[in-house]
A = this chain, B = another copy of it.
Amino acid sequence: MGISFESGKPIFLQLKELIRNDIAAGRYRPGEKLPGVRDLAIWANVNPNTMQKALADLEAEGLLETHGTNGRFVCSDPDVIAKARKVILEDLARQFGEKCRQIGVSPAEVAQLLAREDFSERNFENE
């Protein structure tokens, strides 16, 4: 298997998020060439069409560029990527804050939970 997807949300959207995050995090550098659709699909254990759709969407957003027959590349403009990263982080914070408020969770509880999720490399499957 490749990746664990949330249920109830289209896979291609989760793929988009995954790759977008890879770009924002710098795991894919600006201008870097991406693996082929087929390889990415295998890596994610997903139907190539699904991966194709995710990539096409990211291209429409300007984060990816197709250079003719040479393959797909990460956008080469660092500003675009920096802006994308900013948007992602703001969205993350906004959504997280909103959900906390919805659940009525106190800041103290959040801190405690985040402490448990101490950003180390833990395996979240076995909890």
Spell out A's residues near B (CB within 8 Å).
6, 8-10, 13, 18, 21-22, 24-27, 60, 85, 88-90, 92-107, 109-110, 113-114, 116-119, 121, 124, 127
Contacts and interface: CB of A to CB of B under 8 A. Distances in A.
Contacts of A9: 8-9
Chain A interface helix/strand/loop/mixed: helix
Contacts of A92: 96, 99-100, 103, 105, 113
Contacts of A124: 94, 97-98
Nearest to A111: B114
Contacts of A100: 92, 119
Given A6-B95, A8-B13, A93-B116, 10 more contacts: A21-B103, A24-B104, A26-B104, A85-B103, A92-B100, A93-B114, A93-B117, A97-B119, A97-B124, A110-B114
